[in-house]
């Protein structure tokens, strides 16, 4: 074992750590040196979004001590920023194993530092935490969740006073304060119990009230209240809020997927509790087919991601990808607001650079301002902050099954998304169509865009290095032709430079630095490469498009676009 790792191990064995932790370390020393090395070879990084990692003992794991030290650093920064002002903080958590323990640990450390803490009495959706920060006028918030990661993981998402995750300069400044905590003895663990207030039903009611106010066609829901909805929380927090929200919207025929209704951090029916995964939605899909439902909705453990299933033009059940859901939601909000006289000349929508360009087409053809930001809803929130004095934010979204509707939250919100998607299904049914029929109509009107992605995981100590090597290869030796089409443009968001291969012109990209590369080909395809900020994986996003003249052409053109993406993947040897 490397000497630096041995030093860390001995510090834990000799320091102020509980006896159970020390015994687990001793067992690993005797039985599993590889696991011990993985647990201590580095410190679990407090990134720009917070912590995320495998649970266990050690500096590279999610545990009481890494969570406590992160919280102490965050508290130190808040006190530097706000001085003598009262610092109010909201703490929430999801259904994962140890999430309640981590949330209580976080609340205790903040409270011991003199902060006024609002701790949710039990698990709640992450977007409700974002709402609560804004509703209560808090300075910050933390939710203990690893979102859609496998059951071994947990995490710690840090939020600022507008309800969004940390952005510059606060993200980097908090990281510095966290890294300055040298050992657990610097953490104030106890002594502030009187500073903790529990949040429960009243906050739920306020949050659901905010979501209900987003409804545009309550009259249509009243007519279609019997819309057959199947909903699965995939063992997560959605069960605490989504059914009641749908009820208050006016829907009376909601079937809960019982096998996945109970919150359970072991996620017994799935490998990945992620509505992006077909497997995670499969039980819900079976139920939707069984009862001949109109729509299937699924949310991830912390209820910020939403997946939907509908019947296609042939009557077959299909799962929508995130871009398709995004386009449907953007179009609905824009078109419905116009029809109801709610549209404003300064309306705006926001999506991310790896999401479908079709969203911009929908907005622009309706004379709505449309912006692209880096991946992550914190960047959508930051742009709202910059523009909210002059422009009216309507909706934001990204391809990874996330939507943020209206101004109640500043993070992706699957609760409001489920409610609005069901309203959309009701609206289309009232007009004799399905959501899939509407999607084809949008393809004819705005262009037929289709997207897909693949993720390549590199585990272990060398994983991040391998991913960095892949990205460097694309930078130093970029492909000149992809799937038989010339690369005409490269966008390097790390270097903040765009380059036109035809003219040789280059320009500065006016977005913060981010390790993303995009290749635009002559036939209009867009290929993006982006290492994950929270996991040892690299994602490749593919976007292709063509013209669709009629519904009759759909199957032929869809196959063409699918084959084009297969060709791109083969061309890049992925």
Active site residues: 147
What is the per-residue burial (b if ≥16 Cβ within 10 Å, else e) of 272-307? bbbbbbeebbebbbebbeeeebbbbbbbbbbbbbbb
Secondary structure letter of residue 62 according to DSSP: B
What token pair was written down for 264?
Answer: 């359970």
Closest CA to 320 of 305, 331, 310: 310
**Would residue 329 be called left, alpha or beta, if left means φ above 0 and alpha means ψ between -120 and 50 degrees?**
alpha
Residue 315 CB burial class (10 angstroms; 0-12, 13-18, ≥19): exposed
CA 566, 323, 247, 207 dihedral sign is positive
CA separation for the pair 116, 121 (Å, rounded): 15
What token pair was written down for 346?
Answer: 């300064």
Place of tokens 């006896």: 19
Own/partner long-range contacts of 558-565 (Cβ < 8 Å, ≥24 apart) = 558/448, 558/450, 561/448, 561/450, 562/450, 564/483, 564/525, 565/450, 565/452
How many beta carbons lie within 10 A of that of residue 199, not counting itself?
A: 22
Bridge partners of 347, per DSSP, are 392
How many beta carbons lie within 10 A of that of residue 43, not counting itself?
A: 14
Kindly give, in sequence order, each residue whose CB lies less than 8 Å from that of residue 221, ignoring residues fewer than 6 positions away.
Answer: 215, 227, 249, 250, 251, 423, 426
Own/partner long-range contacts of 30-34 (Cβ < 8 Å, ≥24 apart) = 33/1
Measure CA of the first residue to CA of the last residue in the chain; give whole Å: 35
């Amino acid at each position: 074992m490397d000497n630096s790792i041995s030093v860390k191990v001995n510090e834990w064995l000799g320091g102020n750590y509980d006896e159970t932790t020390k015994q687990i370390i001793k067992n690993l020393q005797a039985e599993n040196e590889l696991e011990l090395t993985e647990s201590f070879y580095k410190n679990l990084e407090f990134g720009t979004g917070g912590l995320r990692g495998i649970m266990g003992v050690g500096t590279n794991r999610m545990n009481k001590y890494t969570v406590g030290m992160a919280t102490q650093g965050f508290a130190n920064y808040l006190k530097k920023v706000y001085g003598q002002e009262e610092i109010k903080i909201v703490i929430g958590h999801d259904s994962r194993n140890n999430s309640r323990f981590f949330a209580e640990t976080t609340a205790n450390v903040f409270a011991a530092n003199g902060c006024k803490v609002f701790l949710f009495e039990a698990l709640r959706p992450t977007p409700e935490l974002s709402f609560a920060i804004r509703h209560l006028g808090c300075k910050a918030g933390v939710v203990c969740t690893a979102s859609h990661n496998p059951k071994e993981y947990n995490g710690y998402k840090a939020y600022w006073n507008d309800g969004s995750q940390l952005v510059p300069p606060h993200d980097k400044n908090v990281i510095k304060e966290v890294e300055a905590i040298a050992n657990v003895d610097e953490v104030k663990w106890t002594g502030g119990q009187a500073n903790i207030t529990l949040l429960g039903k009243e906050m739920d009611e306020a949050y659901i009230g905010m979501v209900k106010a987003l409804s545009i066609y309550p009259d249509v829901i009243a007519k279609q209240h019997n819309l057959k909805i199947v909903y699965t929380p995939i063992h997560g927090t959605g069960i605490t809020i989504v059914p009641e929200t749908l009820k208050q919207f006016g829907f009376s025929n909601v079937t809960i997927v019982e096998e996945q209704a109970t919150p359970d951090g072991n996620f017994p029916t799935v490998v990945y509790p992620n509505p992006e995964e077909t497997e995670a939605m499969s039980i819900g899909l079976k139920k939707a087919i069984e009862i001949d439902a109109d729509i299937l909705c699924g949310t991830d453990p912390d209820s910020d991601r939403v997946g939907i299933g509908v019947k296609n033009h042939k009557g077959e059940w299909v799962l929508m990808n995130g871009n398709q859901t995004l386009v449907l939601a953007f179009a609905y909000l824009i078109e419905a607001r116009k029809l109801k006289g709610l549209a404003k000349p300064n309306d705006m929508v926001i999506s991310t650079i790896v999401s479908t360009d079709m969203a911009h087409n929908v907005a622009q053809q309706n004379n709505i301002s449309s912006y692209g930001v880096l991946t992550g809803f914190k960047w959508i929130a930051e742009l709202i902050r910059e523009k909210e004095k002059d422009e009216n934010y309507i909706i934001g979204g990204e391809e990874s099954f996330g939507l943020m509707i209206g101004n109640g939250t500043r993070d992706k919100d699957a609760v409001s998304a489920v409610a609005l998607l069901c309203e959309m299904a009701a609206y289309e049914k009232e007009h004799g169509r399905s959501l899939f029929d509407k999607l084809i109509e949008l393809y004819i009107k705005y262009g037929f865009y289709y997207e897909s992605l693949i993720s390549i995981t590199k585990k272990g100590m060398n994983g991040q290095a391998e991913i960095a090597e892949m990205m460097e290869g694309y930078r130093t030796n970029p492909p000149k032709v992809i799937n038989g089409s010339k690369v005409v443009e490269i966008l390097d968001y790390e270097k903040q430079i765009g380059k036109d291969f035809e003219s040789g012109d280059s320009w500065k990209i006016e977005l913060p630095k981010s390790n993303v590369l995009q290749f635009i080909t002559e036939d209009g395809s867009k290929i993006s490469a982006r290492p994950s900020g929270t996991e040892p994986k690299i994602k490749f996003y593919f976007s292709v498009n063509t013209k669709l003249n009629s519904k009759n052409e759909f199957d032929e053109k869809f196959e063409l676009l699918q084959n084009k993406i297969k060709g791109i993947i083969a061309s890049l040897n992925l």
